[in-house]
């Protein structure tokens, strides 16, 4: 049997990065992926397909509708449409038990969710890395911004990020390509908002979408639906970016259709020696040997692999001497905010489908008295955008016939919406554990227990109220707030943000954390976890770029340690 220098589990955003870094540093690397192979360009089967070529016209396949039968969980996200359903997992392939509503959205292919992610990328700051220490929720991060900053730069230069520099301490600037443009409605709201609140900013979203060519990838051509796949490689995905770089080294092997059952631990060596997988086609078990393992199976996938890797040394799951494995699960809470109408500007329009919106960086609890809230800790940011109403408005108003058709020939009034993305506190009683059920591959499935706490619920009130206050101050009319959260129901339940993180947190103390400052398991030196599972707190910004930076940093450390003979 071949013994690989490194085995990477998962080929999504972090698995792709681990594959690139490890192969480029000379390691023969095996990437194990549970899903099918998806080849760049060739397998983007719905890319650029016009609406009329979809039998259901790219309908949203909601829970309970035909077309969503095999996707009762995936269909909960508004992103689940006819055009992209082939990039979501069929839920029978990854069942889990929900104690309370928790929506686990997954890809099931090479590239994972990097094909369908939201592409918004924001650096963390020390406001985030010091948050646990300052307010006592969770354990202190073992790293600070200065540790990660060069790795953010390294990642940004490779993936390509377009955005505007703001000079804000709570949202550090990065290595940006030119920003995308705001439309007239957004410029109007920006001007009014920043006039009324001089300490707040409204900027164009920082996105991993090119506005200039980079490494053979082309700038965005604004067709719109990135999530169908992009032949020009204009947004970051494993397919467009990291996997080609890894492949170019000649040291990459990818095995798709192989779901990891567990990691094989050698108690005498205190090391992992290999990975046990189940072939999803034949259901046969196989083993691979490796000297180093990077676990990048997505937050809950990673937790499941570790929990299921039991041995006499680790009866409660591998690298779990602390007992915290599976706990401190988090997600961003969202689907709360406000929207309204902008009067006038009817002689202004736009051209192109910009796959990006606006961003309002966090302005609460920044450490000064002015921004401090008495009713909750941490903070939130807003994503949103302005647009002119399209033909769909005709369904909400009386009228039909020639008059209606003439009216819908022109766009309607401008509207502007803002949705908050809020930080979630790390709490022990939000957790994933093994249930007593197994899936069709014979692997125990997770039971997930996760709810929003008082802090998130208090923050949501401010998220709605502040959005309305800012829109009104900016001159937006008919402002309405919304909050989709329903107690113990669906609407804004945990998981829906698809920013699930935690369960194998980093920390300074092996008694209270799973990973050290380099994403290395305290208990198992040759095991690294660099996906969202490693997170000790959640910040309020989209997490993927932080996972990428931590992955690249961990690879650098792992290879150096390996050369020193420490792994």
Partner 1 sequence: MNRATISRRRALQQVALLLGGALSAPTVAGVCSTATRRAWAASPAWAPRTLSAAQLELVATLTEHIIPQTETPGARAAGVHRFVDTLLTDHYPTVERDRFLAGLAAVDAQARSRYGKAFVESATGQQVALLRELDAAAYAATRGDDAWFFRRMKELTLVGYYTSEIGAMQELHVSPFGAYRGDIPYTAVGRAWA
Nearer to partner 1, 337 or 357 (CB): 357
Sole binder of partner 1 in the list 3, 65, 281, 438 (CB under 8 A): 65
Pick the closer one to partner 1 by CB: 165 or 405. Answer: 405
Q: Does 190 bind partner 1 (CB under 8 A)?
A: no
Residue (405 or 480) nearer to partner 1, CB: 405
When the beta carbons of 162 and 520 are compared against partner 1, the nearer one is 162
User: Burial of 279 by CB count in 10 Å (0-12 exposed, 13-18 middle, 19+ buried)?
Assistant: middle
Q: Which is nearer to partner 1, 354 or 505 (CB)?
A: 354
* CA 465 – CA 328 distance, rounded (Å): 28
* Cβ partners under 8 Å of residue 531, min gap 6: 10, 12, 13, 14, 15, 295, 296, 297, 298, 299, 301, 302, 547, 551
Q: Please give the Cα distance from 164 to 41 (Å, whole number).
A: 30
Q: Which of 154, 176, 197, 350 binds partner 1 (CB under 8 A)?
A: 350
Contact 505, 536 (CB under 8 A): yes
| Contacts (Cβ under 8 Å, ≥6 apart) of 390 | 411, 412
- In the list 36, 247, 348, 508, the residue contacting partner 1 (rule: CB under 8 A) is 348
Question: Which two tokens mark 385?
Answer: 């955008």
Binding mask 443-482 for partner 1 (x = CB under 8 A): ----------------------------------------
Contacts (CB under 8 A) with partner 1, residues 353-372: 353-354
DSSP 436-491: EEE-TTSPEEEEEE----HHHHHHHHHHHHHHHHHHHHTT-EEEEEEE---TTSSS
Cα gap 96→103, rounded to integer Å: 10
Residue with Cβ nearer partner 1 (344 or 367): 344
Distance CA 69, CA 324 (A): 36
399 interacts with partner 1 by CB under 8 A: yes
Binding status of residue 212 toward partner 1 by CB under 8 A: no
Which residue in the set 282, 312, 368, 397 belongs to the binding site for partner 1 (CB under 8 A)? 397
Question: 222: phi > 0 → left, psi -120 to 50 → alpha, else beta; which?
Answer: left
Q: Of residues 502-521, which lie at the interface with partner 1 (CB under 8 A)? A: none
In angstroms, what is the minimal distance from the CB of 206 to partner 1? 16
| Strand order, beta sheet including 271-279 | 3-4, 285-290, 271-279, 258-266
Beta bridge partners of 432: 448
- In the complex, least distance from residue 423 CB atom to partner 1, rounded to whole angstroms: 30
Q: Is 392 in the site for partner 1 (CB under 8 A)?
A: yes
- Interacting positions 22-41 with partner 1 (CB under 8 A): 41
346 binds partner 1 (CB under 8 A): yes
Q: Is 45 one of the binding residues for partner 1 (CB under 8 A)?
A: yes
Interface region with partner 1, contact rule CB under 8 A, candidates 86-94, 157-165, 398-406, 458-466: 398-406
What is d(CA 381, CA 193) in angstroms, rounded to the nearest whole number? 14
Q: Establish if 312 lies at the interface with partner 1 (CB under 8 A).
A: no
The verdict on 291 binding partner 1 (CB under 8 A) reads no
Task: Tell me if 48 contacts partner 1 by CB under 8 A.
Answer: yes
Nearest Cα neighbor of 551 from 528, 527, 535, 523 is: 528
Selected range binding partner 1 among 56-64, 106-114, 119-127, 359-367, rule: CB under 8 A: 56-64
Residue from 72, 136, 344, 390 that binds partner 1 (CB under 8 A)?
A: 390
Sole window of 99-107, 122-130, 277-285, 394-402 interacting with partner 1 (rule: CB under 8 A): 394-402
For position 388 contacting partner 1 by CB under 8 A, the verdict is yes
Site size for partner 1 (CB under 8 A): 67
180 touches partner 1 by CB under 8 A: yes
Q: Which residues lie closer than 8 Å to 228 by C-beta, 6 or more apart?
A: 44, 46, 47, 48, 49, 83, 84
The least CB distance from residue 86 to partner 1, in Å, is 12
Give the C-alpha separation, 420 to 457, whole Å.
13
Question: What is the rounded CA–CA span in Å between residue 381 and residue 391?
Answer: 30
For residue 98, give the nearest of 329, 334, 441 by alpha carbon.
329
Binding of residue 405 to partner 1 (CB under 8 A): yes
Query: Is residue 144 involved in binding partner 1 (CB under 8 A)?
Result: no
- Which of 92, 221 has the CB closer to partner 1? 221
Q: Binding of partner 1 at residue 225 (CB under 8 A)?
A: no
The residue ranges that bind partner 1 (CB under 8 A) are: 41-53, 55-59, 61, 64-67, 180-184, 186-187, 218, 220-224, 229, 231-232, 346-354, 388, 390-392, 394-395, 397-402, 404-406, 408-411
């Amino acid at each position: 049997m071949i013994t690989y220098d490194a085995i990477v589990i998962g080929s999504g955003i972090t698995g792709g990065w681990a594959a690139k870094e490890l192969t480029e540093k000379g390691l023969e690397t095996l990437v194990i992926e549970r899903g099918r192979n998806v080849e760049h360009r060739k397998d983007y089967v719905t890319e650029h397909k016009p609406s009329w070529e979809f039998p259901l016209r790219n309908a949203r396949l909601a829970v309970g509708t035909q077309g969503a039968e095999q996707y009762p969980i995936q269909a909960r996200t508004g992103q689940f449409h006819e055009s992209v359903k082939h990039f979501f997992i069929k839920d029978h392939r990854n069942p889990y038990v929900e104690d309370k509503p928790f929506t686990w959205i997954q890809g099931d292919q090479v590239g994972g969710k990097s094909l369908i992610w939201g592409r918004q990328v924001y650096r963390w700051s020390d406001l985030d890395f010091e948050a646990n220490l300052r307010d006592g929720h969770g354990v202190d991060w073992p790293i600070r911004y200065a540790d990660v900053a060069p790795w953010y730069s390294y990642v940004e230069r490779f993936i390509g990020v377009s955005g505007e520099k703001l000079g804000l301490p709570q949202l550090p600037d990065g290595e940006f390509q030119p920003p995308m443009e705001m439309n007239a409605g957004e410029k109007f709201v920006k001007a009014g908002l920043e006039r009324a609140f001089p300490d707040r900013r409204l900027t164009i979203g920082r996105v991993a979408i090119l506005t200039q060519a980079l490494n053979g990838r082309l700038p965005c051509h604004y067709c719109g639906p990135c999530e169908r796949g992009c032949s020009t490689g204009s947004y970051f995905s494993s397919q467009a970016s990291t996997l080609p770089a890894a492949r170019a080294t000649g040291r990459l092997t990818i095995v798709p259709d192989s779901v990891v059952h567990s990691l094989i631990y050698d108690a005498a060596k205190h090391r992992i020696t290999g990975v046990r997988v189940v072939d999803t086609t034949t259901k046969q078990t196989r083993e691979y040997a490796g000297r180093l393992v990077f676990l990048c199976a997505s937050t809950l996938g990673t937790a499941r692999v570790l929990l299921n890797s039991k041995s006499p040394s680790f009866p409660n799951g591998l690298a779990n001497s602390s007992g915290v494995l599976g706990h401190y699960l988090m997600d961003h809470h969202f689907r709360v905010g406000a929207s309204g109408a902008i009067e006038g500007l009817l002689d202004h329009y736009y051209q192109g489908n910009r796959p990006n919106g606006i961003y309002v960086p966090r302005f609460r609890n920044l450490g000064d008295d002015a921004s401090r809230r008495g009713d909750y800790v941490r903070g939130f940011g807003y994503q949103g955008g302005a647009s002119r109403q399209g033909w769909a408005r005709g369904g909400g108003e009386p009228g039909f016939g020639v008059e209606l058709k003439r009216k819908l020939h022109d766009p309607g009034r401008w509207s502007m919406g803002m949705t908050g993305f809020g930080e979630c506190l790390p709490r022990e009683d939000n957790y994933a554990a093994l249930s007593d059920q197994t899936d069709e591959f014979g692997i125990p499935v997770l039971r997930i227990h996760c709810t929003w706490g008082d802090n998130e619920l208090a923050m949501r009130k401010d998220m709605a109220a502040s959005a309305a206050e800012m829109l009104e101050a900016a001159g937006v009319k008919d402002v309405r707030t919304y909050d989709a959260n329903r107690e113990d129901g669906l609407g804004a339940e945990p998981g829906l943000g698809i920013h699930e993180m935690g369960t194998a947190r980093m920390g300074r103390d092996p008694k209270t954390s799973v990973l050290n400052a380099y994403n290395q398991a305290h208990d198992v030196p040759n095991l690294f976890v660099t996906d969202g599972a490693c997170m000790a707190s959640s910040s309020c910004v989209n997490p993927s770029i932080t996972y990428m930076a931590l992955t690249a940093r961990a690879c650098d450390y792992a290879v150096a340690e390996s050369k020193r003979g420490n792994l």
